[in-house]
C-alpha cells in the first residue's frame, strides 16, 4: 500500500471522499465512502488512483472548457460589435469622400 501514493480526487457522482481499497486478488481500486462508486480495479495502486482521478477530471475539464468557450464567444461578440461600429464609421467616411469628389467633379 505504500507505492507512490497518488491523492484521490473527490467522487465525480456525489463529491464524497474516496479511499483506496484492495480486493482479494490483490488489485486496488478507489471507492467513494459516501455512494460506494468504484474505480477500475488494477494491480497498481497508482494506476487505480489515476483511473479514478481521470474520471473526476473529465467532468471538471468539461466545465472549464465550457467556461473557456463562453469567454471566447463573449470576446468574439464584443469584437463583432466593435467591427460593426468601425464599419459604420468607415461607411460614413467613404460617403463623405465620395461626396467631396462629386463636388470637385462638378467644379471641373
Ligand atoms: Zn460518491
CA–centroid distance, residue 57 to ligand 1 (Å) = 14
The torsion angles phi and psi of 97, rounded to 5 degrees, stand at: -60, -45
CA–centroid distance, residue 26 to ligand 1 (Å) = 23
**pLDDT at residue 89 greater than cutoff 90:** yes
CA–centroid distance, residue 71 to ligand 1 (Å) = 31
Residue 100 CA to residue 60 CA, distance in Å, equals: 60
**pLDDT at residue 3 greater than cutoff 50:** no
Regarding pTM above 0.75, the answer is no
User: To the nearest 5 percent, what fractions of the chain are helix, strand and coil?
Assistant: 60, 10, 30
**pLDDT at residue 1 greater than cutoff 70:** no
Amino acid at each position: 500500500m505504500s507505492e507512490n501514493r497518488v491523492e484521490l480526487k473527490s467522487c465525480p457522482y456525489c463529491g464524497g471522499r474516496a479511499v483506496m481499497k484492495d480486493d482479494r486478488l490483490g488489485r486496488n481500486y478507489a471507492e467513494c465512502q459516501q455512494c460506494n462508486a468504484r474505480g477500475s480495479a488494477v494491480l497498481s495502486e497508482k494506476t487505480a488512483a489515476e483511473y479514478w482521478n481521470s474520471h473526476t477530471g473529465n467532468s471538471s475539464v468539461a466545465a472549464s472548457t465550457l467556461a473557456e468557450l463562453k469567454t471566447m464567444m463573449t470576446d468574439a461578440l464584443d469584437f463583432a460589435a466593435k467591427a460593426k461600429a468601425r464599419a459604420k464609421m468607415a461607411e460614413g467616411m467613404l460617403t463623405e469622400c465620395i461626396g467631396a469628389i462629386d463636388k470637385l467633379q462638378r467644379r471641373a
